[in-house]
Amino acid sequence: MTPLIEANRVSRTLADPEPFTLVCDASLSVAPGEMVAIVGPSGCGKSSLLYLLGLLDRPTSGSISIDGRVTEDLGEAERTHIRLERIGYVFQFHFLLPELTALANVALPMRRLARLTGDQIAERAAALLEKVGLGDGAGKRPERMSGGERQRVAIARALANDPAILLSDEPTGNLDSANTRMVIAEFQRLAHEEGRGVVCVTHDATVAAAADRRIHMLDGRIVAGD
């Protein structure tokens, strides 16, 4: 089976102001239906690796393939399109657009992809909110939601274009234990029931324990994995 993500000896070095290696020689692969946690101390390069895997950043060396497609030589437009279509992001801070309702936030990626009609988009956005337990909150703006609700909207938005890959950066960092359990359960369901590849950067031992595999990083390197 082709891995959803395959990173091969990926490094990322900042040249300015002084040379600094964020990620060094990292190799990993994520298969469909797999939930992988990347763990390690702060500043070890977890988030940097996630941005590389999600095509938000380009490696200084090494290669990353998404769905078996090598991405180094792709132009920015193609990489952006892959992000739009194949990758969903969930961050520690929900990053919902404060001007838009929950429904409008979830609809954003679908409207940009423009594969569905307006009615279909509204229907799917409502269904996604329902799925994360926010069926009643579709018309709410982020300012009127709790932290857990916002994060659930962010998950629904990440799933809007039905991506094969879900990348999350400290998704439970701002959540209480009940919401943390809800997020973990949702990630597991997305991986195990829907066959998506879920990569989760986390400090949270509960999240790490819930993952199928854990990758440990230190000083930019992958030092262990199970």
Of 134 and 201, CB closest to other proteins: 201
Q: Does residue 48 interact with other proteins by CB under 8 A?
A: yes
CB 217 within 8 A of CB 45: yes
Q: Nearest-CA neighbor of 198 among 160, 159, 225, 224?
A: 159
Which residue type occupies 136? D
Peptide bond into 17 cis (omega under 30): yes
For the record, the structure tokens of 165 come out as: 């890959």
Q: Is residue 56 at the binding interface for other proteins, with CB under 8 A as the rule?
A: yes
Q: Does 76 bind other proteins (CB under 8 A)?
A: yes
Stretch that binds other proteins, among 76-84, 126-134, 145-153, 184-192 (CB under 8 A): 76-84
DSSP letters along 128-170, please?
Answer: HHHHTT-GGGTT--GGGS-HHHHHHHHHHHHTTT--SEEEEES
Binding mask 174-213 for other proteins (x = CB under 8 A): ----------------------------------------
Q: Which is nearer to other proteins, 33 or 100 (CB)?
A: 100
Phi/psi-derived region of residue 115, left when phi > 0, alpha when psi is between -120 and 50, beta in every other case? alpha
Among 18, 77, 177, 193, binds other proteins (CB under 8 A): 77
Residues 144-163 touching other proteins, rule: CB under 8 A, are: 157, 161
Ranges within 86-145 binding other proteins (CB under 8 A): 87, 89, 91-93, 95, 97-100, 104, 108-109, 111-114
Tracing tokens 């609700």 back to the chain, one arrives at 149
CA distance 187 to 198: 7
Residues that bind other proteins (CB under 8 A): 47-48, 51, 54, 56-57, 76-77, 80-81, 83-85, 87, 89, 91-93, 95, 97-100, 104, 108-109, 111-114, 157, 161, 169-170
